[in-house]
Amino acid sequence: MSDALLSVQNLRIEFPTRRGTLVAVDDVSFSISPGEVLGVVGESGAGKSLTGNAIIGLLEPPGRVAGGAITLEGRRIDNLSYDRMRRIRGREIGAIFQDPLTSLNPLYTVGRQLVETILTHTDMTPSQARDRSIELLQEVGIPAAERRIDSYPHQFSGGMRQRVVIALALCANPRLIIADEPTTALDVSIQAQILALLRRLCRDHGTAVMLITHDMGVIAETANRVAVMYAGRLVEIGAVRDVIKQPKHPYTVGLMGAIPAIGSDVDRLSQIEGSMPRLTAIPPGCAFNPRCPHAFERCSSDRPDLIASDQSGVACWLFDQDASDVPMEVAGHA
């Protein structure tokens, strides 16, 4: 991780309640290099968005970072004050959220919002900031940018609004972008255009992207590496081609088995029985063990950390070389 732009080490996010402390993200570690897209995938409630919000300092109270460290270019940022983090957010870390209407002020033109953001984070003059805003709108594919810059958000389509949000995220040329479900509300053709735009940003500017999604197709199309989360923990991380073609963790195997393949002749897709546990009822041991078809005794008592397996890491006792109680036929099946 020495050359990583972003490094997350043993991140723990808690929510204090009257009935006790709920652990929403537990001991999560990963890194992202310049120009890399790390896809973070999992079911709703897995902790993906909370991890992204912790990185950009936007955890909603009473949520808090209770352990671990987040470093950006070697500087720790998880323990900064609100004002210091606000200066980093936008200038060094950009954010793209699922619904562009929550990121855009309906009372201001998109040009005013872009110019104000640029003036906040750079030393440009208002005239230079407007010219830069037009360049950004052109870069993200807004036609007739010189005219559309004075339009209001409601005068843009959903896909165009999302492009404006991406332009806002790029105003100060951030080194890292947190993209939380950036294409979920868009149709397939617009999805492809937005994903191509993110890939081009990585290629042309060396921008690192943390792409949060529940869509494995988006991950396969865009990401270099993928991190699979379940119940607040990483269960598998590795290169996209390895995780998609040869998934190791039973949860990842289930996710991939639920995706229809072109040309396949099956009557019914496989499914993962049961549902993700609530934060108040996370089982001991591996959180996935009540749903896992290969669970054995150790899975219900000991929680596995990431274990190196080929070029990937997998949090599953089936891949523990020292385990003496793993049924050999089960490990071979996985």
Could you tell me the pTM of the whole model? 0.90
Task: Please enumerate in sequence order all residues whose Cβ is within 8 A of that of 215, keeping only pairs 6 or more positions apart, or say none.
Answer: 41, 183, 184
Rounded to whole angstroms, the Cα distance separating 117 from 124 reads: 11
DSSP string, 58-118: -PPTT-EEEEEEEEETTEE-TT--HHHHHHHBTTTEEEE-S-GGGTS-TTS-HHHHHHHHH
Mean pLDDT of the chain: 89
- How many CB atoms sit inside 10 A of residue 290's CB? 15
Cα angle 199, 204, 205 (rounded to 5 degrees) comes to 100
Looking at residue 263, its pLDDT comes to 67
Work out the average pLDDT over 56-71: 95
Helix %, strand %, coil % for the chain, to 5?
35, 25, 40
Work out the average pLDDT over 304-323: 86
Each residue's pLDDT tens digit, 295-307: 999 999 999 999 9
Q: Which of 83-92, 97-106, 142-151 has the highest mean pLDDT?
A: 142-151
Q: Which of 148-157, 177-186, 321-330 has the highest mean pLDDT?
A: 148-157
Each residue's pLDDT tens digit, 25-59: 999 999 999 999 999 999 889 999 999 999 999 99
Q: Which residues pair with 25 in a beta bridge?
A: 13
Looking at residue 186, its pLDDT comes to 77
CA dihedral (172, 176, 180, 186) in degrees, to 10, reads 60
